[in-house]
Amino acid sequence: MHTSFLVLIILALVIVASIITSIVTYLILAGRNKRIRLAEQYRQIGITDGYLSIQEEIEKNIKSEHIKFTTVSPVKAPDFANEEHTEQESDPKDIWVVVRGKDSNTSEKIFEYWHFIYQDSRWICKERKKKAG
């Protein structure tokens, strides 16, 4: 009787360990997939180096505006941008991102283009425009 009880406990521990391993693997792959997706999005706008630090700084700027974002995706300059857009270099000075999320103060949904420029050794939001449509 003690042996069957011991076998059940060992089986339960193996199942719990398997579940924990699956969860950890999922979390690791989800983070890896996000980095791969970000790398591709930045590559499409001509940025190949330093994109993770750029993304991190831009996300900090958005959080400081009381925005709880679900996604922040770099995009090519939208049609309404008043400036002539040329292919960006690997060291960009301006970036457009699409921000999806919610305003923490009003709970209003946010779906906007944000234009960031690199000035005084930091990224600053130059303008925000509602996404049409």
DSSP string covering 102-117, please?
Answer: EETTT--EEEEEEEEE
pTM value is 0.62
Tokens 């103060």 sit on residue: 105
CB contact at 8 A, 97 and 114: yes
For tokens 């069957």, name the residue: 4
pLDDT value, residue 107: 87
- 116 within 8 A of 124, measured Cβ to Cβ: yes
Check residue 61 and give its pLDDT: 85
Cα–Cα dist 76/67, whole Å: 22
The tens-digit pLDDT sequence of the chain (133 residues) is 678 888 899 999 999 998 998 888 777 766 667 777 878 888 887 777 778 788 888 888 888 888 888 888 888 877 666 555 444 444 567 888 889 999 888 888 989 999 988 888 888 888 888 876 5
Q: Is 98:78 a contact under the CB 8 Å cutoff?
A: no
SS3 48: coil
